[in-house]
Amino acid sequence: SAVISQKPSRDICQRGTSLTIQCQVDSQVTMMFWYRQQPGQSLTLIATANQGSEATYESGFVIDKFPISRPNLTFSTLTVSNLSPEDSSIYLCSVEDLDRGTSYNSPLHFGNGTRLTVT
Amino acid sequence: DAKTTQPPSMDCAEGRAANLPCNHSTISGNEYVYWYRQIHSQGPQYIIHGLKNNETNEMASLIITEDRKSSTLILPHATLRDTAVYYCIVKPSAGANSKLTFGKGITLSVRP
């Protein structure tokens, strides 16, 4: 399975600032996915990031708040802008695990996430 | 909107089999059943997936009913390290869209 490295693993940020989270994969992948997990909750998909095109955002998430970059097939960043305490969550990057299936049924492989606390 | 329903929690004794149920009564013909688990402070871990046949791998077995409206994840010999939230997810195979929609999952507690 692909090895996913997320940086930072955790951070404490002040209200009104921004945090950029990096996701590095050790192999080339077509699609990368960004999820959010609020305290005590399940995971919610923020957006899908394809290399060479604009990210596709899920309902309730907008580019101005969560800009995403995907400069190549092994790297992506998620920025959480204008932070408020409600943004305190774990943010997770994931990619398809093509070793365990085809592009139509491959499972996702997740990093360990970035734990963000906004004060 | 999760398409699955799972009990909120269950427990089992260490060394015994853990059978985790999942209902997916509205599953479509081209949707796979996936199971993931999330151990505290870690990202979700893929366990197994299947379409209609039962599946087994080094981690678990997946039993899907003939009508595909429910499934059971079986951990044959649960250990304390299997304590986690287990998510049952259905996902269409059509297109190259691997979008997963997580529900609340079931919290499995393995007791000594």
pLDDT one-digit tens code per residue, A11-34: 999 999 999 999 999 998 888 999
For position A97, what pLDDT does the model report?
A: 72
Q: Å from A30 to nearest chain B CA?
A: 10
- d(Cα A72, Cα A65) in Å, to the nearest integer? 22
Counting Cβ atoms within 10 Å, is residue B111 exposed (0-12), middle (13-18) or buried (19+)?
Answer: exposed
| Inter-chain CB proximity A112 and B94 less than 8 Å | no
| Mean per-residue pLDDT of chain B | 91
For position A103, what pLDDT does the model report?
A: 56
In B, minimum Cα distance to A115 occurs at B41
| Mean per-residue pLDDT of chain A | 91
Question: Which stretches does DSSP call E strand in A39-107?
Answer: 43-50, 56-57, 68-72, 75-80, 89-96
Query: Is the confidence at residue B88, as pLDDT, over 70?
Result: yes
| Inter-chain CB proximity A45 and B42 less than 8 Å | no
Q: Å from B6 to nearest chain A CA?
A: 13
Query: Is the confidence at residue A85, as pLDDT, over 60?
Result: yes
When pLDDT is cut at 50, 70 and 90, the band that residue B2 belongs to is low
Q: What is the pLDDT of residues B38-61, one digit of tens each?
A: 998 899 999 999 999 999 999 999
For position A104, what pLDDT does the model report?
A: 58
Q: Which residues of A touch B (CB under 8 A)?
A: 4, 30-31, 33, 35, 42-45, 48, 92, 94, 96-97, 100-101, 103-113
Q: Å from B45 to nearest chain A CA?
A: 7
Query: Is the confidence at residue B97, as pLDDT, over 80?
Result: no
For position B91, what pLDDT does the model report?
A: 86
- Looking at chain B, the whole-number percentage of residues with pLDDT higher than 70 is 93
Query: Is the confidence at residue B96, as pLDDT, over 50?
Result: no
Chosen for mutation from A1, A21, A42, A102 (greatest number of chain B CBs closer than 10 Å) is A42
- d(Cα A63, Cα B71) in Å, to the nearest integer? 38
Residues 6+ apart with CB under 8 A from A62: none
- Which of A35, A42, A107 is the closest to B104 by Cβ? A42
For position B92, what pLDDT does the model report?
A: 77
When pLDDT is cut at 50, 70 and 90, the band that residue B10 belongs to is very high
For position B3, what pLDDT does the model report?
A: 86
Residue A26 — left, alpha, or beta (φ > 0 → left; ψ -120 to 50 → alpha)?
alpha
For position A53, what pLDDT does the model report?
A: 84
